Amino acid sequence: MVSNKKLKISIIIPAFNEESVLDSCLQALAKQTMPPHEIIVVDNNSTDKTVEIIKKYPFVKMLKEKKQGIIAAHHRGFDSATGDIIARIDADTVVSKTWVERVNKNFVEDASLSALTGPGGVYEIAFKDMYPGLFFSKYYFLLGKKLMGFQLLWGSNMAIRKPMWDLIKNETCKDERIVHDDVDISILIHERRGKIKYDQYLKVYIHGMRFINLLKVAEYHRKMIKTRDHHQKRGSLVV
């Protein structure tokens, strides 16, 4: 028997100069088959039209975070969330129309589930019901399992129970030069024997801008290793 229980799902979106992508992100959230409990966009000192775009959507709550950086921005949003589940996407994420419903389904059906993640395709080449461009997210999850030994969360498509966040938030690394925030959170959940699930049907699209700059791709890899090294030094990761 399928449960009709609906959890309160808060969606957090860090945003810094996202005028080119934020509209598509918020439009997709407005079309969900199951409306979220709340949507919080954390403006991180944007100087473009990001704030104007946020104000176009009355169902969105805007917060300000003066400390620059995605870690500070998502912490501001996570700590302000009032839902049972704290979901996180990026401003360039476009969720599928059943995304919130599927997040709810996973957590309702498995009371032991601590956190949830799923794949992402490239928005620019997606059309109709096709779902091409999954290479990046597949590669990320394979690389994560190779380096860490377990399932990682992906910041563009993730959700975590609020009690787990409350348990680990003071242990998270605040230095973006050292860690990827989503990998850092994943390791801390794993350290506490929390269950992280990958749902292949929890699909999102992401804008392909991140693939253009090869230097950024290389830095992404280096920081993944830095995150692993950081946790090995603190004794929270044995691989």
Quick one: which of 213, 209, 118 has its CA closest to 156?
A: 118
Q: Tell me if 4 is assigned to some domain.
A: no
Kindly report which listed range (88-92, 133-137, 146-150) carries the lowest average pLDDT score.
Answer: 133-137
Identify the band that residue 129 occupies on the pLDDT scale cut at 50, 70 and 90: very low
The range of the structural domain enclosing residue 198 comes to 9-234
Q: Tell me if 2 is assigned to some domain.
A: no
Task: Output the CA–CA distances (angstroms, integers) from residue 91 to 39, 82, 122, 166, 207, in the order listed.
Answer: 12, 20, 14, 24, 9
Q: Tell me if 188 is assigned to some domain.
A: yes
Domain with residue 157: its CATH number is 3.90.550.10
> Per-residue pLDDT tens for 52-106?
999 999 999 999 999 999 999 999 999 999 999 999 999 999 999 999 999 999 9
HSE, side-chain direction, 13 A CA sphere, residue 76: 21
Output 220 or 71, whichever has higher pLDDT: 71
Question: Residue 209: pLDDT above 90?
Answer: no
Q: Tell me if 239 is assigned to some domain.
A: no
Q: Tell me if 200 is assigned to some domain.
A: yes
Q: Tell me if 203 is assigned to some domain.
A: yes
- What pLDDT shows up at residue 226? 94
| Helix and strand counts by DSSP (H, E) for the chain | 8, 10
Question: Residue 239: pLDDT above 70?
Answer: no
Tell me, what DSSP letter sits at residue 46?
-
> Per-residue pLDDT tens for 164-205?
999 999 999 999 999 999 999 999 999 999 999 999 999 998
Please tell me the distance from the alpha carbon of residue 54 to that of residue 93, in angstroms, as a whole number: 15
Please tell me the distance from the alpha carbon of residue 164 to that of residue 11, in angstroms, as a whole number: 16
Q: Tell me if 218 is assigned to some domain.
A: yes
Q: Tell me if 18 is assigned to some domain.
A: yes
| Number of domains observed in the structure of the chain | 1
Q: Residues of the chain with pLDDT > 90: what percent?
A: 77
